[in-house]
C-alpha cells in the first residue's frame, strides 16, 4: 500500500542517483524567506468569483517564470530551494577539514565524493564494469534470476519489485511483498498507447537507450539492435502491468499467499531460489500485488531469448548508474529525462544535485543536522496544537453529517481518535554506521547506501511493524498519511513559511498548514483510506447504505475533476483523470473544509478587522490559493497528468473552492459564477 502524499516530486529525476555535470551553469542568489501571504501575488484585475486561482496567483505566475534548471516552479519549490541552501551550508562545513561528529563526517564525505568531478571524470564508465561482467557471465535462467536478486539488493530496479510492507489484514506485522515493476519510463501507458505523443516518446526513448549503450562502449549498430530489444522487453512488462487507477483500489493488490504458491504459479521466475538469494530473512507467506503480472511475464521468460534479458539487465544497470558517472553519461541522461521528458532547459548546478543526492541516500543523518539547526521543540508543540484543532473540527464535521448512520459514525470516530501524529522528525535517528562512505568513490557510496536501505526494508519482514519509521526525510517539503499505519506525518521542512509563520494571523496559518493537516487527515477517509480501519487493517467498517452514499459523493468529485483540462498545447488537450486523482481531490476539499471550521472555532462570530483590506475568511482562502501558485512546463504537465494522483495547482484551488459555500460567502459570489458550482460536490 503506497502512502498518500501531499505533492509528488519529479518522478523521473527522483532516481537513486543525483544527476551530475561538470560546469556550474548558474549560481542563483540565495532565496529569501518566503512570505506566507503575498499581496503582490494577487491579480486584482480578475474577479475572485470567476477564477480564484488566477486572482490569488496571477501576478505571481506572471512574475515567477520557471528557472532554467526546473520543470516546475511553485511555492513548494521555493521553499524546497530555500531548504537546499540550508543543507548546503551544513554540508559545506561537514566536508571541510576540522573537528566533526561521526554524522557530519559521513554526510560530508558523501557530499565531497559527489562534488569531486575530477575523480568521477577520470573513472569514466569503469564503475559499470563489475555489473556488466556479472551479466555477461549469465548462461541460464537461474543465473539470470540470481543477477536480478543481486541488482535489486543494490537498489537497481529491475524486472519486478520486492520489498516489505505491513500485512493488509494484520498491520501489526510486516510481511514480504512482490509486485509488478521493471519499467524505465514513468508509466505503462508510455509503452502501450498509440497517440502521436506516446509514439514519439517511445522513439526518443529508443534513441536514448542506443546512445547510452554506445557510451558504455558498444558499437552503434549493436547499440541500435539492443535499444529495440530493451523497448520490446519493457513493453512486455508493461502489458502485464495493472494500470495506476486500478491499483488505487486496495483489493486489487491484495493477494496473500504461500511463497511456494507464487513460485509454482510463475515457475520461470525461480522465486524459491530468488527469495533465498535476495538477502531477505526466510519467510513462508507474502503478499503478491499483481499475480497476473507474474503469470504473464512467466511466459515471456520462456519465449524471450536469454540474451535479450541480459541486454535488458545491462540497460537497467547503465540507466541507474548514469547520473553518477562522467559528464557524457550525465548529459545524455539529462537530455532525455530532463530536457525531453519534463521540459527542464538546464541541468541543476552540481552542488544542488549533490545536496539532493545526500538527502536521498543518507537523509536521516543529514536530517538530524538540519533539525538541530532549524527546528526547535516549540515547533513540534505549536504544530501539535494545530493538529488537535483540525482533529476536533473533523469530529465536529462527522457529527454533523446527515448522510452517515450512527453505526458508521462510531467507527469513524474510533479511527479519527486512533490517528497517530508524527511531527518534525522521528523519535529515533537511523544508524548509518555500517554504511561505508569513501571520499573518492561516489558511485560506490550510492550503491552502498542503496544496499543499506534495501536491507533495512528487507529486515522488517515477519517482524512487528515499525510504526516509528519515517518515509520522508526531515527537510522534505511535503506531508503524508499511511493507511496501514493510520498516521499523519509532517516533516520539519514543511513547517515554515509559506505554510506556517509565527508572524502571521491565524487565518493565514490555517489556510496554509491548517489545510495541509486537514488534507492528510482526510486521506484516512478518502475512497482508499476509508477501506482501512483504526488499526490500519483492510476491513470494511461501513454499513452498505453508508458506503453507497459515500460512493455517490465521491463520483461527483471524480466527474468534476475529469472535466478539468490538465494541459493544452500543439500536441492536443489532456484532461485530468478524475478517478486517479480522486483521493487527493477528496483530501483537498476535506482539508479546506476542516481547516476553515477550525479557524471559525477560534475567531468565533465576532467580526474581525480586515488586514490588508481582507477579512479573516478571505485571508484564509487567499493563503490556501497562494500555496499552490505555480508554473509548469507543458512537457511536465503531460507526465503528471498520466502519473500524478494530485491535480495541478490551478485545480487544487479553483476545483476545491467552487464546492465551498464558505468561500462563496466570504467573497460574495453569486449563483451562476464559475466559482459557484451548480451541483457542488461534497464528500466530507
- Work out how close the CB of 536 gets to Zn ion at its nearest, in angstroms, rounded to a whole number: 17
**Shortest reach from residue 584's CB to Zn ion, in Å:** 5
Task: Name the residue nearer to Zn ion (CB basis): 587 or 642.
Answer: 587
Q: Which is nearer to Zn ion, 296 or 586 (CB)?
A: 586
Number of other residues whose CB lies within 10 A of the CB of residue 623: 28
Q: Cite the active site residues.
A: 520, 588
Is residue 135 helix, strand or coil? Answer: helix
Closest among 184, 63, 162 to 454, alpha carbons compared: 162
Q: At a CB cut-off of 8 Å and minimum separation 6, what does 500 contact? A: 36, 383, 386, 509, 512, 513
Nearest alpha carbon to residue 168 among 288, 83, 322, 299: 288
Residue 467: HSE in the Cβ half-sphere, 13 Å Cα cutoff: 19
# residues near Zn ion by CB under 5 A: 4
- Toward Zn ion, which CB reaches closer, 155 or 645? 645
**Sign of CA pseudo-dihedral 392, 393, 394, 400:** positive
Cβ-based neighbours of 431, under 8 Å, separated by 6 or more = none
Report yes or no: 346 and 69 within 8 Å, Cβ to Cβ: yes
Closest approach, Cβ 14 to Zn ion, in A, equals 17
x-marked contacts with Zn ion along 197-236 as a string, rule CB under 5 A: ----------------------------------------
Q: Which three cell numbers stand for residue 129?
A: 564494469
Complex with Zn ion: residue 587 or 657, whichever CB lies closer: 587
C-beta closer to Zn ion: residue 4 or 163: 4
What is residue 560's three-state secondary structure? helix
CB of 488 or CB of 587, closer to Zn ion:
587
**Least separation, in Å, of the C-beta of 8 and Zn ion?**
9
Please say which residue, 527 or 584, places its beta carbon nearer to Zn ion. 584
Residues contacting 138, CB < 8 A, separation 6+: 144, 147, 306, 310, 313
Contact between residue 625 and residue 512 where contact means Cβ atoms under 8 Å apart: no
Q: Mask: binding to Zn ion, 572-591, rule CB under 5 A, as x and -?
A: ------------x--x----
**Cβ–Cβ under 8 Å, residues 534 and 414:** yes
Give the helix/strand (H/E) hosting 173: strand 170-179
173, β-bridge pairs: 464
Q: Which cell goes with 228?
A: 529495440
Exposure of 124 by Cβ count < 10 A (0-12 exposed, 13-18 middle, 19+ buried)? Answer: middle
Least Å distance, CB 481 to Zn ion, is 7
Comparing CB distances to Zn ion, the nearer of 146 and 585 is 585
Distance between CA atoms of 519 and 526, rounded to whole angstroms? 10
What's the CA dihedral at 466, 471, 474, 479 to 10 degrees? -120
User: Closest separation between CB of residue 185 and Zn ion, Å?
Assistant: 24
Q: What is the smallest separation between the CB atom of 598 and Zn ion, expressed in angstroms?
A: 18
Q: DSSP readout, 339-365?
A: IIHH---SPPPHHHHHHHHHHHHHHHH
Q: How far is the CB of 283 from Zn ion (least distance, A)?
A: 31
- Measured CA to CA in angstroms, residue 109 lies from 94, 112, 122, 223, 589 at distances of 8, 5, 19, 36, 45
The 8-class DSSP code of residue 160 comes to: B
- Output the smallest distance, CB 77 to Zn ion, in A: 17
In DSSP notation, 465-482 reads: --TT--SS-TT-S--EEE
Site residues (CB under 5 A) for Zn ion, limited to 293-352: none
284, 258 in Cβ contact below 8 A? yes
Query: Cβ of residue 290: shortest distance to Zn ion, in angstroms?
Result: 23
Between vectors from CA 629 to CA 24 and to CA 28, what angle results, nearest 5°? Answer: 20
Question: Rule CB under 5 A: which of 2-21 touch Zn ion?
Answer: 4, 6
Question: Which lies closer to Zn ion via its Cβ, residue 549 or residue 584?
Answer: 584
Where in 584-623 is the site for Zn ion (CB under 5 A)? 584, 587
Residue 489, strand partner residues: 422, 480
Nearer to Zn ion, 6 or 20 (CB): 6
Q: Which of 632, 642, 635 is CA-nearest to residue 570? A: 635
Footprint of Zn ion on this chain (CB under 5 A)? Answer: 4, 6, 584, 587
Amino acid at each position: 500500500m503506497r502512502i498518500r502524499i501531499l505533492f509528488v516530486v519529479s518522478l523521473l529525476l527522483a532516481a537513486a542517483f543525483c544527476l551530475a555535470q561538470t560546469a556550474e551553469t548558474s549560481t542563483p542568489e540565495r532565496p529569501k524567506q518566503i512570505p506566507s501571504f503575498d499581496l503582490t501575488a494577487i491579480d486584482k484585475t480578475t474577479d475572485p468569483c470567476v477564477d480564484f486561482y488566477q486572482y490569488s496567483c496571477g501576478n505571481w505566475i506572471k512574475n515567477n517564470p520557471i528557472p532554467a534548471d526546473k520543470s516546475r516552479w511553485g511555492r513548494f519549490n521555493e521553499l524546497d530551494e530555500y531548504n537546499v541552501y540550508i543543507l548546503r551550508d551544513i554540508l559545506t562545513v561537514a566536508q571541510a577539514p576540522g573537528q566533526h561528529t561521526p554524522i557530519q563526517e559521513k554526510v560530508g564525505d558523501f557530499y565531497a565524493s559527489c562534488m569531486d568531478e575530477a575523480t568521477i571524470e577520470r573513472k569514466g564508465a569503469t564503475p559499470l564494469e563489475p555489473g556488466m561482467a556479472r551479466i555477461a557471465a549469465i548462461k541460464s535462467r537461474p543465473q539470470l534470476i540470481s543477477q536480478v536478486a543481486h541488482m535489486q539488493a543494490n537498489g537497481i530496479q529491475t524486472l519486478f519489485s520486492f520489498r516489505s510492507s505491513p500485512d493488509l489484514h494484520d498491520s501489526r506485522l510486516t510481511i514480504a511483498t512482490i509486485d509488478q515493476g521493471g519499467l524505465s519510463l514513468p508509466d505503462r501507458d508510455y509503452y502501450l498507447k498509440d497517440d502521436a505523443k506516446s509514439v514519439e516518446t517511445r522513439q526518443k526513448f529508443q534513441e536514448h537507450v542506443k546512445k547510452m549503450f554506445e557510451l558504455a562502449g558498444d558499437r552503434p549498430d549493436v547499440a541500435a539492435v539492443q535499444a529495440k530489444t530493451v523497448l520490446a522487453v519493457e513493453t512486455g512488462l508493461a502489458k502485464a502491468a495493472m494500470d495506476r487507477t486500478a491499483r488505487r483500489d486496495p483489493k486489487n493488490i491484495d493477494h496473500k499467499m504461500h511463497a511456494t504458491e507464487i513460485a509454482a504459479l510463475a515457475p520461470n521466475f525461480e522465486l524459491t531460489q530468488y527469495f533465498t538469494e535476495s538477502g531477505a530473512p526466510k519467510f513462508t507467506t507474502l503478499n503478491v500485488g499483481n499475480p497476473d503480472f507474474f503469470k504473464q511475464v512467466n511466459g515471456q521468460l520462456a519465449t524471450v531469448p536469454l540474451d535479450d534479458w541480459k541486454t535488458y539487465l545491462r540497460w537497467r544497470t547503465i540507466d541507474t548508474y548514469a547520473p553518477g558517472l562522467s559528464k557524457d553519461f550525465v548529459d545524455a541522461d539529462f537530455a532525455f529525462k530532463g530536457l525531453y521528458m519534463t521540459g527542464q532547459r538546464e541541468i541543476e548546478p552540481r552542488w544542488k544535485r549533490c545536496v539532493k543526492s545526500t538527502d536521498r541516500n543518507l537523509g536521516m543523518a543529514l536530517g538530524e543536522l538540519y533539525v538541530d539547526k532549524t527546528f526547535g521543540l516549540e515547533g513540534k508543540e505549536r504544530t501539535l496544537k494545530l493538529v488537535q484543532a483540525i482533529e476536533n473540527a473533523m469530529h465536529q464535521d462527522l457529527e454533523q453529517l446527515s448522510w452517515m448512520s450512527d453505526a458508521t459514525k462510531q467507527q469513524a470516530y474510533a479511527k479519527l481518535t486512533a490517528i497517530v501524529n508524527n511531527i518534525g522528525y522521528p523519535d529515533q535517528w537511523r544508524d548509518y554506521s555500517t554504511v561505508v562512505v569513501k571520499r573518492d568513490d561516489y558511485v560506490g557510496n550510492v550503491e552502498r547506501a542503496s544496499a543499506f536501505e534495501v536491507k533495512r526494508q528487507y529486515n522488517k519482514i515477519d517482524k512487528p511493524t515499525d510504526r516509528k519509521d519515517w518515509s520522508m526525510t526531515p527537510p522534505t517539503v511535503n506531508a503524508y498519511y499511511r493507511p496501514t499505519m493510520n498516521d499523519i506525518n509532517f516533516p520539519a521542512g514543511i513547517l515554515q513559511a509559506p505554510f506556517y509563520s509565527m508572524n502571521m494571523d491565524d487565518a493565514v496559518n490555517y489556510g496554509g498548514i491548517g489545510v495541509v493537516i486537514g488534507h492528510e487527515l482526510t486521506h484516512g477517509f478518502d475512497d482508499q483510506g476509508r477501506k482501512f480501519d483504526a488499526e490500519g487493517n483492510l476491513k470494511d467498517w461501513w454499513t452498505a447504505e453508508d458506503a453507497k452514499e459515500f460512493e455517490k459523493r465521491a463520483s461527483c468529485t471524480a466527474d468534476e475533476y475529469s472535466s478539468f483540462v490538465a494541459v493544452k498545447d500543439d500536441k492536443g488537450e489532456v484532461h485530468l483523470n478524475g478517478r486517479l486523482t480522486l483521493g487527493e481531490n477528496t483530501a483537498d476539499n476535506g482539508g479546506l473544509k476542516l481547516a476553515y471550521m477550525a479557524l471559525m472555532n477560534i475567531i468565533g462570530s465576532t467580526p474581525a478587522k480586515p488586514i490588508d483590506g481582507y477579512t479573516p475568511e478571505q485571508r484564509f482562502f487567499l493563503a490556501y490559493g497562494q500555496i499552490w501558485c505555480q508554473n509548469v512546463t507543458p512537457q511536465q504537465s503531460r507526465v503528471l497528468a498520466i502519473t500524478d494522483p494530485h491535480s495541478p495547482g490551478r485545480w487544487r484551488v479553483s476545483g476545491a473552492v467552487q464546492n465551498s459555500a464558505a468561500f462563496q460567502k466570504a467573497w460574495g459570489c453569486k449563483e451562476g459564477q464559475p466559482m459557484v458550482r451548480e451541483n457542488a460536490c461534497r464528500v466530507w
